[in-house]
Amino acid sequence: MSSSKEIIQNNLDYTLFSWSKQKGINPIAIKEAKGVYLYDYDGQKYIDFSSGLMNVNIGHGNQRVTDAVVKQMQQVAYVTPSCVTEVRGELGKKIASIAPKGLTKTLFTVCGATAIDNAIKLARLYTGRHKIITKYRAFHGASYAAMSAGGDPRKLAADSQQAPNFVHVEDPFCYRCPFGQTFGNCKYECVSHIERVIEFEGPQNVAAILMEGESGSSGCIKYPKDYFTKLRAICDKHGILLIIDEVMSGWGRTGKWFGIDNHDVIPDMIATAKGITSGYIPFGALIVSENISKHYDDNILWLGLTYSAHAVGCAAALETLKIYEDENLIENAANMGMYIDEQVELLKAKHPCIGDWRNTGLLGCLEIVKNKVTKEPMAPFNAKPNEMEIMNKVAAKIKELGMYTFVRWNYVFIAPPLCINKTEIDEGLAIISEALKIADEHYQAN
């Protein structure tokens, strides 16, 4: 058995790490994981407060998924997408029973980006239009189309390579309203802005509006009440499709099956991945409305992947969906989310640096500021390494105290697995509270 040092060194010497300079990386070597905990080779335990990449929704080490995967592999691991398996049909049927009304057919993909890419392609093929409207702060994946669709600054290094015909709009970011308004007194300038952009771009050219069901890595920017109803009306007026990215916000993460279920709106397509298998196997899905699927009864569907509807992925997904139900995980996400909301209120009283807390179910994020009135962030949007000094210290403290979670710019994410209980939440929040003392020292009172 290799030592922890050897394992890390092999990884550093022979593998590449995403979104990082390759020198100076200090990864945790994970030996095993169970429930909400990760364990390294030196016996250190970490509470996983971001569910991996907000994907391990059912928690780590669930034997039922392993058993379902092994059973499927023993029967048949791979068939071409033109052959069928029992599990593919069963999974499709199960998703149709869970998805918003009328979204009844699914194309299975291999990850989130392939679900998004296929959604974009299908929207263009189906409508015969080419433009896709998306938000500046969204992340939709790192493939060319998904990257270009997102506005996340991770794409800026490859700016010249962006795919064409994506038009970006401002997020409805009430804490930092780009239109200088306050919710309650505003006239939904975030929506009228989109209407104007559509007019400028030519509604007849716009195939779809693509948005996350709930925002995630951009800082859990919550959609204001009625935002999606207004957007749906605009889409209907102009024959524009509404595509919802449920890669991160799907599968119980927000206390409902899908993030969009919190908004009383039926989209035309849902692109999803992550929680569909809780990360046990890479897998994704594009769920489409009957209007769209019926069109392809008599027209060729020009989409395809070698690993579409991979039998083992389907088996992992079907078992994962049953686990959500059998273990009441979605209800638990809603309840534990409310518990975290209450506890964060107490933390706010203790830590002046908490500027905002935005959460839906278990998709939450603390926004850390230098001053509550000016809202100056502790690290700016797209912070450079030298602007991350304080937040890096906060992140290092979180890790030292035995937690794995995301600290990005001035955001600290709280998005644990859906199986978490109150004791584990208390343990995690105590770690965050301790680490926030570092940020408090840099708070500049008026």
Ligand X SMILES: Cc1ncc(COP(=O)(O)O)c(C=O)c1O
Candidates 245, 268, 319, 427; binder of ligand X (CB under 6 A) is: 245
In the block, tokens 């194309």 appear at 107
Candidates 216, 267, 275, 377; binder of ligand X (CB under 6 A) is: 216
Buried b / exposed e over 376-391, threshold 16 CB at 10 Å, is: ebbbeeebeeebbebb
In the block, tokens 């699927």 appear at 293
Select the span of 112-120, 230-238, 250-258, 335-343 touching ligand X (CB under 6 A): 112-120
**Shortest Å distance, C-beta 221 to ligand X:** 12
Give the nearest residue (CB) to ligand X. Answer: 112
212 lies in the site for ligand X, by CB under 6 A: yes
Number of residues this chain uses to bind ligand X (CB under 6 A): 15
116 lies in the site for ligand X, by CB under 6 A: yes
Answer whether 426's CB lies under 8 Å from 414's CB. no
Q: Which sign, positive or negative, has the C-alpha torsion 173, 177, 182, 184?
A: negative
Answer whether 36's CB lies under 8 Å from 60's CB. yes
Site for ligand X in 266-305 (CB under 6 A): 273
Answer whether 169's CB lies under 8 Å from 193's CB. yes
- β-strand pairing of 269-272 with 284-289: antiparallel
Closest to ligand X by CB, 113 or 207: 113
**Shortest Å distance, C-beta 360 to ligand X:** 14
Select the span of 244-252, 335-343, 355-363, 369-377 touching ligand X (CB under 6 A): 244-252
**Shortest Å distance, C-beta 276 to ligand X:** 10
Which secondary structure element, helix H or strand E, spans residue 6, and what is its range?
helix 4-14
Select the span of 70-78, 241-249, 259-267, 325-333 touching ligand X (CB under 6 A): 241-249
**Shortest Å distance, C-beta 149 to ligand X:** 9
Candidates 35, 59, 92, 141; binder of ligand X (CB under 6 A) is: 141
3-class DSSP string for 35-82: ECEEEECCCCEEEECCHHHHCCCCCECCHHHHHHHHHHHHHCCCCCCC
Residues forming contacts to ligand X in the complex (CB under 6 A) are 53, 111-113, 116, 139-141, 212, 216-217, 245, 247-248, 273
